[in-house]
Structure 1
Amino acid sequence: MTTPLAGIRVVEFGHYIAAPAATQMLADLGAEVVKIEPPSGDQARGIGAYGEGIVLAYNRGKRSVVLDLKRPGDRGIAADLIARADVVVQNLRTGALARLGLGPDEMRAANPRLVYVSISGFGAKGPSAGRAGLDIAAQAESGMMSINGEQGGDPLRVGFPIADVAASYAAVQAVLAALLRRERTGEGGVAEVSLLNAAIHLQSAMWGEWHVSRQEPRRKGNGQATVAPAADLVRTSDGTIVLSAYTPDRFARLCRVIGREWMIDDPRFADNPARVANREALLAEISQALGGLRTEECLKLLGEQGIVAAAVRTYREVAGAADVRAGGVLTTGIGPDGDRYPIPSLPFALDGVEPPADRAVPRPGADSDGPHWA
């Protein structure tokens, strides 16, 4: 079966995560991607292990062309590539490509079928359009950090660049929607994605809860603020699990399976408001019941009763997990030096589509001297 984006040509002007991650997904769906890098390379290429990890994660199977866009000749090459492309994805500073004559208005005038997607920190229309906008800024200003952390503690960022990744997913959705519209109308389009917008959108349920409760969401640690037990940690004899059993039927099942049926009628635990108010006592009982069991024993015991429970796993444990292996969640990448490494593949399975494996990350400018399109 033909890959969904076979024959689609993508030009990327990307640094770090948001744009490169978006075009990586497009490449995994069969698109040809030419990554335009400045003479110094993608900014992620020179910042140590974190940056090299970004490069390995989001640049497999692309072609790298080094262009100095300050030079008219190189701008002409970029314009020619865009004129023959279906999609542009870029996350340079707002307006940078437009000032060079490579913005969406100029490029779509030359190529009306072009889909042009720009990713910024705060959007292109507000007072922060010109601000530098890395992931941490979006986490902070989206409200995300205000609800993440221990009760009474400092705000915490999510432990990975979640706003960048969310923006990359939004960009891919925009590309696919625009390509579908183009099939119907023949016209491309322009899409704007911001890290701030994506980070706020991730919290839609919290916005709904804010409206219903009329209370500002606050940091509560691992437990969910209005239900219990929900997303609560329980120590086992060899690790940690999280569990949720806050509906009446599941809470009753939990009480029975851990041998504490009396908790069902205890006024401290009779409903969610009571359990939230007495969460410490609730977790003490659950922990005492499960603490002597191994993690896998807990998962089996609770899972057989339809209770949501999961082990807290390290990356090494995740890589070896049976569900991860069975689902083909990880693929094999090849670094610029030929080293092989496990890396997440597409976040979904589509019948007849196998994302290409064993695709190499190019060195900066590896394809500058060759034909840019096959």
Structure 2
Amino acid sequence: MSTPLAGIRVVEFGHYIAAPAATQLLSDLGAEVIKIEPPGGDQARGIGAYGEGIVLAFNRGKRSVVLDLKREDDRSTALALIAEADVVVQNLRAGALARLGLGPDDLRSAHPGLVYVSVSGFGAGSPSAHRPGLDIAAQAESGLMSITGEDDGDPLRVGFPVADVAASYAVVQAVLAALLRRERTGEGGVAEVSLLDTAIHLQSAMWGEWHASGQEPRRKGNGQATVAPAADLVHTTDGTIVLSAYTADHFARLCRLIGKTWMLDDPRFADNPSRVANRTVLLAEISQALGVLGTEKCLALLADHGIVAAEVRTYRDVAAAADVRADGILTTGIGPDGDRYTVPSLPFTLDGVAPAADQEVPRPGADSDAPAWREP
């Protein structure tokens, strides 16, 4: 069975995460991705273990061509590659490619069917367009850090580059939408994705809650600020679980399960505002009942009563979990040095088919002299 994007060629001018992660998803969907790297390679290649992790996660199955775009002959090579491409994805500094004659206006005048997507920190038309814009800046200025952490502690970043990764999904949505439109009209398009806009969009429900409650969202640790119990921790005899039971029906089920039906008549727990105000006492009662159980038994009981609960896992636990293994989300890649490693693949299958395992991560320039990438 052919892959959805078989026959689509993508040229990437990308560093770090947002653009390379997007083109990795396109590659997993069957597109051919040619990664144009500067001499020295993607900047992520030179920043230690964190950068190595980025390279391994987001560059499987690509071709790497090293070009010095300040040289006229290398720019000509880039233009030749783009002439045979369907999509360009880039996240270089604002205006960098345009100054080299590789911006969307220059390219689409010659190739009107080209889809050109740019990723920036703050948006090309914003006052901050020329500021450096990494994931952490988007987390900070989108409000995300202001709602992350304990209520009496400092703002915290999310534990992984969430704005970068989410932006890659937005890029893929834009590419697929533009390719679909091109099928209908013959015209490509120009899309702009910013880390700031993406991070704000991720919090859409919080903006809705702000309107509904009249209270600006704030940090509340694990528990949600306006409902309880919701995303609250309970320590078991051998681990930690998180549970939510904040609807009237689910809270009643929980009270019956733990043998504390008197809580249903206690005004401290009568509704969500009351339970939020008395969250410490509420969690103490729940923990007294569930904390004497092992994690596996606790989760089984809660699931049997239709209550949302889950084990808090480490990455090692995740890799060994039966659900994860059954879904096939984890695949293997081959690093530039030939080592096999485990990495997440597409978070969905199409007709039950997942991307091939053991796709190789190229060394910088591994395909610069190979004729295959020159063939349409």
TM range (shorter): over 0.9
**1:307 alignment counterpart:** 307
Once superposed, which parts of structure 1, at least 4 consecutive aligned residues long, lie more than 6 Å away?
none
**1:200 alignment counterpart:** 200
Q: Which whole-Å deviations, capped at 9, do the CAs of 1:131-166 have from their partners, x for residues lacking one?
A: 100000000000000000001110000000000001
**1:120 alignment counterpart:** 120
Q: How far apart are 1:349 and its partner, in Å?
A: 1.8
Q: How far apart are 1:357 and its partner, in Å?
A: 1.1
- Residue correspondence of structure 1 range 24-173 to structure 2 within 5 A: 24-173=24-173
Counterpart CA distance in 1 for 2:352 and 2:374 is 25
**1:284 alignment counterpart:** 284
Residue 175 of structure 2 aligns to a residue whose secondary structure is helix
Q: How far apart are 1:353 and its partner, in Å?
A: 3.2
Counterpart CA distance in 1 for 2:282 and 2:300 is 21
- Residue correspondence of structure 1 range 255-334 to structure 2 within 5 A: 255-334=255-334
Count of residues paired in the alignment: 374
**1:346 alignment counterpart:** 346
Counterpart CA distance in 2 for 1:264 and 1:338 is 60
Counterpart CA distance in 2 for 1:195 and 1:241 is 32
Residue 174 of structure 2 aligns to a residue whose secondary structure is helix
Q: How far apart are 1:354 and its partner, in Å?
A: 2.3
Q: Which whole-Å deviations, capped at 9, do the CAs of 1:188-246 have from their partners, x for residues lacking one?
A: 00000000000000000000011111211110000000000000011011110000000
Counterpart CA distance in 2 for 1:174 and 1:218 is 32
**1:210 alignment counterpart:** 210
Q: How far apart are 1:325 and its partner, in Å?
A: 0.5
- Paired letter, 2:334: I
Question: 5+ residue gaps in structure 1?
Answer: none
Q: Which whole-Å deviations, capped at 9, do the CAs of 1:276-295 have from their partners, x for residues lacking one?
A: 01000000001111111111
- Paired letter, 1:204: S
Equivalent pair of 2:346/2:354 in contact (CA under 8 Å): no
Q: How far apart are 1:93 and its partner, in Å?
A: 0.5
**2:231 alignment counterpart:** 231
Equivalent pair of 2:138/2:199 in contact (CA under 8 Å): yes
Larger displacement relative to structure 2 (346-355 or 110-119): 346-355
Counterpart CA distance in 1 for 2:352 and 2:68 is 40
Counterpart CA distance in 2 for 1:333 and 1:261 is 52
- Paired letter, 1:28: D
- Paired letter, 2:62: K
Counterpart CA distance in 1 for 2:284 and 2:29 is 48
Q: How far apart are 1:352 and its partner, in Å?
A: 4.9
Change (3 A) 1:339 1:156: same
Q: How far apart are 1:373 and its partner, in Å?
A: 3.8
Residue 207 of structure 2 aligns to a residue whose secondary structure is helix
Identity between Structure 1 and Structure 2 (%): 82
Q: How far apart are 1:270 and its partner, in Å?
A: 1.1
Residue 209 of structure 1 aligns to a residue whose secondary structure is helix
- Paired letter, 2:36: I
Q: TM-score, normalised by structure 1?
A: 0.99
